[in-house]
Amino acid sequence: MLKISDICILLSVAVAFVTTAFLWFQGVDTKQEALFTATWIPSILAFAIYFKIITRKG
């Protein structure tokens, strides 16, 4: 069962992915911004996993 926090995390990952794809295909000038935004996706997922582990132990 998905909690509200899980949905928010998945939604933020989806927004980061769509933003990355949009910037990447926008043109040559926005490739650096797309790569920077792409690094958000694993960071968000890593924090989500970390907080999941913390709440299970507590």
Q: Give domain limits for the chain.
A: 4-57
Residue 35 is predicted with a pLDDT of 94
Q: What letter represents residue 39's amino acid?
A: T
pTM of the model as a whole: 0.84
Residue 46 is predicted with a pLDDT of 96
Cβ partners under 8 Å of residue 26, min gap 6: 34
> Consecutive sets of 10 residues in the chain, 58 residues long: mean pLDDT of each?
91 97 92 94 95 85
Residue 6 is predicted with a pLDDT of 92
Residue 56 is predicted with a pLDDT of 86
Between CA 43 and CA 25 the distance in angstroms is 22
Q: Which stretches of 1-58 are assigned E, i.e. beta strand?
A: none
Helix%, strand%, coil% for the chain, nearest 5: 90, 0, 10
